[in-house]
Amino acid sequence: MDVFARLRSRRRRRADRARVAGAASAELASTAYAVGGAQTPGVPRRVSPDPTAAAFFDVDNTLLRGASIFWFARGLAARDYFTVRDLAGFAWKHLKFRATSTEDVEDISGARDTALAFVAGRRVDEIVEHGEEIYDELLAARIWSGTRAFAQLHLDAGQRVWLVTAAPVELAELLARRLGLTGALGTVAETRDGIYTGRLVGDLLHGPAKAEAIRALAAREKLDLDRCVAYSDSINDLPMLTVTGGAVAINPDAPLRRLARARGWEVHDFRTGRRAAKYVLPVGLAAVAFLAGYRYRRHHVSRS
């Protein structure tokens, strides 16, 4: 097989995994949030439903400051799912994410593999229960109020609002429920008899997989994608931003900011002091995060 044939084969495999991941995520979302008839969670009953329009929000650095999986890992570390060394690795990747406002595929894959390894053999309901606590401890205060306000505008217009994220679908659903949104599309981890196997269904819901999930959900929910809007901070979400009729850049990285301006998309930035963060020595940042994470872990354990 020549080089070009191998590249084509690799692309096909990636596309297949993206389709599987998207379909699995959409299937869970449409099942989990079909309850309640036409009434959309979070929408006042005086609002007339607009069933063919919806909004799709990325999570990390769009809705929530930083990477949700790293904050979730920090909460699990406090519950002895990770060692202090593991937490330091998560902290470094989180700080890299915050300083550059970009998603590194290798970092995301590494976080995925680590998380899968530590939840393998754990019960789903156990992880979900911890997730509820971690939301209150670490996630709630990091929601961007500006992005939440945009989501509410869609809800108040009778439209449904879904989160779309590479984070585990259980964490994504928790965020959606706590924020009064319609539902969530996230990475689906394989389970057997209510226990995580340590494998994914398809691949991470990232890049093209997000667009596949939105298409699959739109087909099930009879959405008109031309009437839908997607929100993201990252150029990595270009497939998601272009699968809908409208796109909005929230806290955008530099490539997305340039593209948004070129295409006439709305741009909103809720960050403060972001430029200064890029000039702080990475080693110093990592040390601060390491110590903060370690102290948080000790404090949490001492209280329990």
Q: Name the packing angle between helices 3-32 and 208-221 (round to 10°).
A: 40
What's the CA gap between 29 and 9, in Å, rounded? 30
Catalytic residue among 2, 58, 224, 269: 58
Cα(79)–Cα(289) distance, rounded to whole angstroms? 18
Q: Which residues pair with 164 in a beta bridge?
A: 185
Is 80 one of the annotated active-site residues of the chain? no
What dihedral angle (degrees, nearest 10) is formed by the CA atoms of 269, 272, 273, 277? -70
Of the residues 2, 60, 136, 237, only one is catalytic, namely 60
Element containing residue 232 per DSSP (H, E): strand 229-232
Whether residue 269 lies in the annotated active site: no
CA-CA-CA-CA torsion for 62, 65, 69, 71, nearest 10 degrees? -160
The CA distance from 228 to 247, in Å, is 9
**Among 108, 99, 171, 109, which residue's Cα sits nearest to residue 139?**
171
Asked whether the beta carbons of 175 and 68 are under 8 A apart, the reply is: yes
Please state the φ and ψ torsions of residue 180, each to the nearest 5 degrees: 75, 25
Q: Which residues, listed in sequence order, are joined to residue 123 by a DSSP beta bridge?
A: 195
143: three-class secondary structure by DSSP: strand
Q: Which amino acid is at 67?
A: A
Q: For residue 55, what is the DSSP state?
A: E
Around 237, how many Cα atoms within 13 Å sit in the side-chain half-sphere?
Answer: 37
Would you name the residues annotated as active-site residues?
Answer: 58, 60
